[in-house]
Structure formats: C-alpha cells, structure tokens
Amino acid sequence: MTTETPRRGRSRLKNGLQTLLIMAGLALVLAVPGYLLAGGLGIVMSLGVVVAGAFAGSWVPARVILADAGAGLLDRHQAPSLYRLLDTLYQRAGLTRPPQLFYAPSPELNAFAVGTRHDGGIAVTEGLLRTLTLRELAGVLAHEVSHLRHGDTRVMSMAAAMTRLTLWLTTVLQLGLLLLVPLILAGELRLPWSLLLVVAFAPSLSTLLQLALSRNREYTADLDAVALTGDPEGLASALAVLERHHGRWLAALFGRHPPAGPDWLRTHPPTEERIRRLMGVEATRDTSLHDHHDDNHHAPPEILERPGAMGRRYWIRRRR
C-alpha cells in the first residue's frame, strides 16, 4: 500500500493536468494541417489514424528493440532478489499480472518498460545490474513500474504518432505549395501566408510538445517511484550514478564533457533537477522496501544465471 502525502497529491495532479494540456496541444497542431487538406473530415481521419496506430504499435517497437538487443527472460530462480522487489512493487502499484524481468547483455546502463500493465515487463542491461546496488535498482525498477502502471508506453506512442503524422501532412502541404508556385508567380493566386506558417512551424512545435510530454512523464514516474519504495534517496543515488557514467562516456568520446543542450530539447529532465525534486520528498519509513527484504541493499543484486537471447520469433507474438 502506498502513502499519498498532500504535496505528492498536488504534484501528481499538476503533472496530470500538464499531460492533458500537452496532448491537447499535439492534437491541435495535428488538426490544423488535417483541416487545411480535407476540412473537418481531415481532422477526424488524422486523429483516428493516430489512435488506431498507437494502439496497434504501442508494444511493437519495444519488442523489436529487445530482439535486436538479444534480450532474454530472467526467470525467478535466476534473479530471486529482484523478483522479490518486483513482487512488492507490483502489489503496491496495483498490477495484477505476474512481473516479468528481461535481461539484455549490454554494457550500457539502461532500463525501460516493455508493453503495458496488462502484458508488459521491465528490461535491464548487464551494465545496470553490475553497477547499481540493490537499493538503487529498487528505485529504478519502481520508476519503470510507474511507467507500466500509468500506460506511459501507449501515451508516448500516441504522441510520437501525432508528431509523425503532422510531419507527413505538412510534407503534403509543401508539395501542394510547390504545385501552386507557377500560379503565384503569374499573379493568378495570392501567396498563402497562413499555409506557409503551418508548414514552417507545425512539425517543430509538435516535436517540442512531444519532448515536453516525455519530460513530464519522467517527473511523474520519479514521484510515483518514491511512493512505491518510500525511499527517495535510493532513486536519487541511482540517477547520480547514471549521470556520472554518462559524463565519463562523453568525455571518452569527445575528450571532454560537452555542454548540455537546452532543456527543452531533451527527452529527459536534467538529472540535477530530478535529484533536487526527489530530495524534497519526505521518505516514508512505514512503506520502505528495506523493511520488507533481508537482502544487502548496498551490494549489486545476485544474478544466479544469465538467460540467452529468445530470438525474433518470441517477440513477434503477444504474451497470452
């Protein structure tokens, strides 16, 4: 059972409203080129394509990524400590399906949610398992459980579909404008300035809104992870480790740590801001995972056996 403080509740409400506003903005940006091409029918058709495409493809990209990474399914006897953590996190999150943990033999430090709350799981890399302690991994797993709990995979798939369709529709408008150039040069048609503005700014605006949505869902997942673990310091420590690893990788590649780009061009919020927000959340010892497990949380988890790759055929079919 998770503990909901007033501050946490206000933050959750704020993030939820921001998500609705951003999704409404994406729909509005998409509706404009749809209306210019086919009027009201264009709006209905474009939004219908987005909804259908998001529901059909929300789980496909993740499974393709898993297949390309040579991922395998970790069984309970191979990672008992991690599954004990996941059992508790799933129970607190209200997820009724048994947890699934996937393993990718990559040295990168990464974890991501796969599928939805009804048939999904969490994938972790070898680098992450070797680098983080069990306490830090608990925060990371809780973050990914939050993504499953709130259907973030489907939300982001829908946002990505809106951005792609906006780009395609504006490309059609660009081709239409090229066909109108002879008439404009001959003076038989006035230059459609409103159409030019849509073609110029709609794809960029849609992309910026999609990035803002991604950052919003990351903040929400951080907050929800703390509610699930009762331990903000665990996730904050994991984020600090990931940031140091990323910095060393960039320094090795470029000879120095290059300056970060603008925050509004990033898919994830700045790590410093995420840690600051986490440290501002009060730990809830009555719900802390440390009280439910006897494992050494200051050491990496014990993985008794690494699974082999499951192959592309496995990822084609849905979990029943």
pTM, entire model: 0.84
φ, ψ of residue 73 in degrees (nearest 5): -90, 120
Specify the long-range contacts of residues 6-9, CB closer than 8 Å, at least 24 apart: 7/281, 7/282, 8/223, 8/226, 8/227, 8/281
In this predicted structure, what is the pLDDT of residue 1?
Answer: 47
DSSP 3-state percent helix, strand, coil across the chain (nearest 5): 65, 5, 30
Is 44 a domain residue? yes
Residue 12 domain-assigned? yes
**Whether the Cβ atoms of residue 265 and residue 211 lie closer than 8 Å to each other:** yes
CA neighbor of 120 nearest in space, from 151, 87, 161? 151
Q: Distance between CA atoms of 61 and 59, rounded to whole angstroms?
A: 6
pLDDT number for residue 320:
45
Say if 1 falls within a structural domain: no
Report the first-to-last Cα separation within the chain, whole angstroms: 28
Over its length of 320 residues, how does the chain's per-residue pLDDT go in tens digits?
455 566 666 777 887 888 889 999 999 999 989 888 888 888 888 888 887 776 666 556 666 777 777 888 899 999 999 999 999 999 999 998 899 999 988 899 999 988 888 878 899 999 999 999 999 999 999 999 999 999 898 888 889 889 999 999 999 988 888 888 887 777 777 777 777 888 889 999 999 999 999 999 999 999 999 999 999 999 999 999 998 887 655 545 555 555 556 776 788 889 999 999 898 877 665 556 655 555 566 777 878 788 877 776 676 655 44
**CA-based max dimension of the chain:** 81
Specify whether 144 is catalytic. yes
The active-site residue out of 4, 108, 144, 273 is: 144
Domain count, the chain: 1
Residue 263, domain extent? 6-316
Tally of helices (H runs) and strands (E runs) in the chain: 10, 4
